Amino acid sequence: MATRWSVIGVMTVVLLSAQGCAAGLTLFGAGAGVSGGSGVSYTLDSIAYKTFTAPVEDLQGATLKTLKRMDITIKGNKASESGRIIVAVAGDRTIEIELDRLTTKVSRMRVNAKQGWLLRDRATATEIIVQTAQTLEDHPPRANKAMQTAAHDSSK
């Protein structure tokens, strides 16, 4: 009896995998992000993304600062319909970063680290997001501006 259920279970997993079951892969990807403690989610094709409580301008500044700290070369930084698109290079990887304005105070970052035509480097994409979050936490842009303004006003 147990053998029959084992065979049925294995067949179910194989069939769902062969069909590219979005639910199963999404659950696996979400679980991997949460268990790693990074709070980063993934699309089915390993594009990492995270939503930040920060305006897109602040997220862009933190992203550029992070890329510089990580010694990743920025090749392009242009406005898009919903925010910014940053293209960078790290070794043999091309990194595409999309910053989307969701509201005036909430932005989403999507990072696609490509290695060649088919391969995606999920670890590098995740690290860029994690390090950008750390940069925002360590150097909050709005707080820095407020402190500079207060210091300037008190010196008068």
Give pLDDT, residue 20.
Answer: 43
Residue 17 tokens, joined: 């995998």
Phi and psi for 146 in degrees, rounded to 5? -65, -40
pLDDT at 140: 76
Residues 6+ positions from 53 with CB-CB distance below 8 Å: 105, 106
User: pLDDT per residue over 79-113, tens digit each?
Assistant: 999 999 999 999 999 999 999 999 999 999 999 99
Question: What pLDDT is attached to residue 105?
Answer: 95
With helix as H, strand as E and coil as C, how does 3-31 read? HHHHHHHHHHHHHHHHHCCHHHHHHHHHH
- Mean per-residue pLDDT, 35-61: 83
Beta-carbon contacts of 92 under 8 Å, excluding residues fewer than 6 positions away, are 115, 116
127 vs 23, more confident: 127
Compute the distance between CA of residue 34 and CA of residue 37 in angstroms, rounded to an integer: 5
Higher-pLDDT residue of 68, 10: 68
Tell me, yes or no, if the pTM score tops 0.75. no
Count Cβ neighbours within 10 Å for each residue of 50-62 and write b for 16 or more, e otherwise. Answer: bebebbbebbbbb
Q: What is the mean pLDDT of residues 31-50?
A: 68
Residue 154: per-residue pLDDT: 45
50 phi and psi angles, rounded to 5 deg: -155, 145
Domains and CATH numbers, the chain: 1-37 (no CATH), 38-154 (3.30.160.110)
pLDDT at 97: 97
